[in-house]
Amino acid sequence: MEIKEAQQIVDNWIKTVGVRYFNELTNMAMLTEEVGEVSRIIARRYGEQSEKESDKNKDLGDEMADVLFVLICLANQTGVDLEEALQKNLAKKTGRDSERHKNNEKLK
């Protein structure tokens, strides 16, 4: 699925199942919460902390999808075309970083 399509699917879901969008500040708080859940899994599963029994069955992909869903909600609410924004962002990064990472001794 393309990003534009994902934005339309989320918008349709919100309007039919979710009733309406939460306001932008509520969604920002929800995004922060969802990113925290992803962080917890990664820190405990791939980092140095031990993973709690209650976290072992958590699906990292599902938690990442929660982040993406709320991010798409925020984009829809604020009129951001995420596909266009990502293309512009990649072009910016490519121009800025075309040699930077190749020349970074820490990455070799």
Question: What pLDDT was estimated at residue 52?
Answer: 85
10, 72 contact by CB (below 8 A): yes
The H or E element spanning position 68 is helix 60-78
| Residue 97, H or E segment | helix 82-97
- Residue of 70, 62, 65 whose CA lies nearest to 22: 70
Percent of the chain exceeding pLDDT 70 equals: 100
Could you tell me the residue range of the domain that residue 96 belongs to?
3-107
pTM, two decimals, is: 0.89
If one counts every other C-beta atom within 10 angstroms of the C-beta of residue 73, the result is 23
Tens of pLDDT, residues 58-103: 999 999 999 999 999 999 999 999 999 999 999 999 988 878 888 8
CATH number at residue 51: 1.10.287.1080
Neighbours of 11 (CB within 10 A): 17
Mean residue pLDDT across the chain: 94
What domain count does the chain have?
1
